[in-house]
Amino acid sequence: MDEEYDVIILGTGLTECMLSGILAVEGKRVLHMDRNNFYGGECASVNLAQLYERFRNGATPPESMGKVRDYLIDLIPKFLMTGEGLIKVLLYTDVVRYLEFSPIATSMVYNGGSIYKVPSTPSEALTSYLVGMFQKPKARSFFAFLQQWKETGDSQGVDVERSTMQQVYEHFGLNEDTQEFIGHAMALYLDDKYKQRPARETCDRIIMYAASAARALEDGRNSPYIYPQYGLGDLPQAFARLSAVYAGTFMLDTPVDEVVRDEKRKFVGVRSGDQVAKAKQVIGDPSYFRENVRKTGRVIRAICILREPIPKTSAESAQIILPQRQTGREHDIYVTCLSGQQKICPQGVYVASISTIAETSGDPKDEIAAGLKLLGPIEQIFVTVSDVYEPAADGTGDNVFISRSYDATSHFETVYEDVRDLYRRITGKELVLQKRPKMDETAA
């Protein structure tokens, strides 16, 4: 360990492991450390005994639930969308060779007390209950505008760079119901703050969703979402294997006793016991830098063990989005459901997860009640409330680069945005994911 590296990375959460893989592929000498004896950090996948250890003070799971090692339950549930940034990173780094994916059967949205399938294409949206009869022509014009803008760059007089998304909605005469469907079920925002931001951000998200959904239809899938078999914990492990191929060094179960700085408070290394590893920069999750982060909120997450699929979905796996306006909240509620098809639990068992931003200091179950109501009979439930942190500085002053905590969304786009932002600050350049030779081609 007493060596010098280009970068030291602390924690094996997905954000840190993605950066480790990208930097290793680009020729950086990387040392990756974690105080835990497992990969994944906050986004690890745990077996049933580990779940009870965390949430039930070490109680023994009932025998009726089967073998504890037949479970691989995500602490932070998320799905991948086939067109999102994380998929691009998996392809860029060739990490896909270590992973197998399973399709998510359906994606649904909660509206008026019922759940409906999220349309897979703009044309399907125009026949959906989610878009009112008098809104359909206006929605058609909006989607046609997006298609033309994507293909030709012609924005038809709509300034997507300077206009807010609210102004674009108003330009096309889209009402609150249609805005809700587009912004929350397609653009996947968890609140309405996006409406006051530049329209381009939302337009890009809608186009990405539509492209992902179209690709899913071509592949015979009903939703644009996929999931790694054996749990999300396989993602950090896959990046760890990649980094090792490119001479990266991983050290689990290694205490971080001190982040060493020079007289100007700039980072110079990490001490573990009597050994010091030196590097130009350090990347880490908030748990390693409590004095350098600020709390921005709390996330409620509930893991629920079921014996039947979620009622009215008729699916072995599903995502359900409950938009804020439908539940009288300020933030959306996300519901995910997985089964033995994804190899994360025994056949005949379903693992549903609910997540949202905490808005009160009361009982968290009250805040997710609308999501719990959709699940039907719940055999076991495990509820957590986690603080959410962001870095207090951008890291360019002291070479300490800190990731953000994982949010309540059920997708990885915000994680990828954090990776891009960190990469830009660390390297001084934009992350460009061009196709690279595969590892076996490089070795040939």
pLDDT at 157: 81
Looking at 143-147, 265-269, 371-375, which range is the least confident one?
143-147
Cα–Cα distance for residue pair 357/339, rounded to 1 Å? 25
Written out in words, the top-level CATH class of the domain with range 58-81+101-105+297-388 is alpha beta
Any idea where the domains of the chain sit in the sequence? 4-43+233-294+389-443, 58-81+101-105+297-388, 119-218
**CATH level 2 (architecture), domain 4-43+233-294+389-443:** 3-Layer(bba) Sandwich (3.50)
444 confidence band (pLDDT: 50, 70, 90): very low
Q: Are 301 and 353 in contact (CB under 8 A)?
A: yes
Give the residue among 87, 46, 136, 71 at the shortest CA–CA distance from 419: 87
Amino acid at 42: E
Nearest to 239 by CA among 101, 344, 103, 89: 89
The model's pTM is: 0.92
| 405 contacts 286 by C-beta, under 8 angstroms | yes
**Strand arrangement, sheet containing 80-81:** 80-81, 225-228, 101-103
Q: Which CATH architecture has domain 119-218?
A: Orthogonal Bundle (1.10)
Question: Which pLDDT does position 303 carry in this prediction?
Answer: 98
Compare 220 and 297 and report the one with higher pLDDT.
297
Burial of 58 (0-12, 13-18, 19+ CB in 10 A): exposed
Q: What pLDDT shows up at residue 77?
A: 92
- Give tens-digit pLDDT for 326-380: 999 999 999 999 999 999 999 999 999 999 999 999 999 999 999 999 999 999 9
380-405 tens-digit pLDDT: 999 999 999 999 999 999 999 999 99
